[in-house]
Structure 1
Amino acid sequence: MEIYEDISSSELNNMINNKEKLILLDVRTEAEYNTSRIPNAINIPISDLDSQIDHLLPYKDEKIIIYCRSGKRSIYAAHLLDEYGFSHLYNLTQGIIGHLNYL
C-alpha cells in the first residue's frame, strides 16, 4: 500500500472549493513560507517536523496535504508522518511552484 497519494493543484483546488476537511502542511523553511503560501497552511519546516510532531497528532485521522517548493521535501515528510501512524497523506506534486503556476 502506498504511504501517500500524489495530488495535483487542480485536485487540491477542488478539495478546497468543496470545503473538504483537510490540513495543509507546508514543510518549507519559515522564510519560504513568509514569501508565499497556500492560505490556512500550517508551517513546520522539514528539519523541525520530527520534534514538532505533537502539533499534528490531533489531526492524525484527517486528510493532510503536504507541500514544499517542488515536491521533494514533502515526500520525505509523508514517510515521517507515516511512521507516526498518519494514514491520509497527500503529496502536492510540483509543490507550491506548480500550484502558483496553476492559479
Structure 2
Amino acid sequence: MNNISVKTLKERLANNEALHLLDVREPDERNEFNIGGHFIPLGQVMSFQVDDIEHLKNEEVICYCRSGKRSMQAAMMLETMGFTNVVNVEGGMLAWQSEA
C-alpha cells in the first residue's frame, strides 16, 4: 500500500486525471461532505463485499475516509483480496477540508 497526500490528490484531480476513488466512510459522513468516487463503507470492504470494484484489481484505487485510519484498513484488506495498486489518502477528508 502506498500513501498519497491531499495536496497531490487535489493536483491530480485538477489535472483531470481519471482516478478510481473509494470512499469507505459511513453514509452520514458521505452526506456531509463528498468528493465523489465509489462508495463502499469499511464494514462492507472487511466482509469482502467489493463486487462493484472487482474490475479495478489491476488499477490504482485511492481509498479515503474521515482521517485516513479506516481507509488504511480498507487498503490493506483490498491488497489481501488481490488488488495490486492500492493507495491511502493521508489525513482523509479532515486534511482535504483544511488543505487550501
TM-score, structure 2 as length reference: 0.91
In the other structure, the counterpart of 1:14 is: 11
1:73 equivalenced with 2:48 (yes/no)? no
SS of match in other structure, 1:89: strand
Alignment identity in percent? 36
Output the CA distance in 1 between the equivalents of 2:67 and 2:4: 13
Question: Equivalents in 1 of 2:73, 2:50: separation in Å?
Answer: 14
Does the alignment pair 1:89 with 2:69? no
Q: 2:61 aligns with which of 61, 64, 84?
A: 64
Contact 1:65 1:91 in 2 (8 A): yes
Partner SS for 2:87:
strand
Q: Deviations over 1:48-74 (max 9, x none)?
A: 113421111011121111011101001
2:37 corresponds to 1:41: yes
Backbone CA RMSD of aligned residues: 1.2
SS of residue paired to 2:34? coil
* Number of aligned positions between the proteins: 99
Would you say the 8 A contact 2:62–2:88 is kept in 1?
A: yes
Q: Would you say the 8 A contact 2:40–2:50 is kept in 1?
A: no
